[in-house]
Amino acid sequence: MKNPDGNKSRREIEILKLFFRVYCSNIHSDRKRDKVTGLGLLKGYDLSGIFLCAECKKEFIYSVTKLVLCPYDPKPSCKKCPLICYSDEHRIFMKKMMRFSGKHLIMHGRFDLLFRYFF
Ligand code: SF4
Ligand SMILES: [Zn+2]
């Protein structure tokens, strides 16, 4: 039942990267943003290509860590998960962030990106 560090989690990491990048570069454009690097558990994962503010970086690393440690394979949608392994605070942030970035990508005609990452 352990989720292998396979293509699926890598693909989900790419989705998270896209959504966090859109959110932070628009909502936190006035903040200092730094490169994200994966340490420890996340060392083998490609977290390159995004620059995030301190708050988004913390939430992003938290998300990726939960994804990598997810005990389910196949992984259900987190919304429907009986376990819910993350905090309410993180859930609220993610809901806000995903909603903004999803809308932004659609409004800017980036169906290609949504399609590439979700299908
Ligand atoms: S909430 Fe459930 S499905 Fe989502 S990462 Fe945690 S354990 Fe996995
Ligand atoms: Zn940010």
- Tens of pLDDT, residues 4-27: 455 667 888 889 999 999 999 999
pLDDT score of 37 more than 90: no
Helix (H, G, I), strand (E, B), or coil: what is residue 53? coil
Residue 1 domain flag:
no
- The pTM for the full model equals 0.88
In eight-state DSSP terms, residue 57 is H
Q: Is 90 in the pocket of ligand 1 (CB under 6 A)?
A: no
**For ligand 1, what atom is nearest to the CA of residue 77?**
3
78 pocket-lining for ligand 1 (C-beta < 6 Å): yes
Residue 75 lies in a domain: yes
Domain that holds residue 17: 7-118
> Could you tell me the pLDDT band of residue 45, with boundaries at 50, 70 and 90?
confident
The percent of the chain in helix, strand and coil, each rounded to the nearest 5, is 60, 5, 35
**99 is a domain residue:** yes
pLDDT over 60 (residue 53):
yes
Distance linking the first and last C-alpha atoms of the chain:
24
Confirm or reject: Cβ of 104 under 6 Å from ligand 1: no
Q: Cα of 31 to ligand 1 centre, how many Å?
A: 30
Q: Please indicate, yes or no, if residue 71 is contained in any of the structural domains.
A: yes
Domain count across the chain: 1
Which residue bears the tokens 């389910």?
72
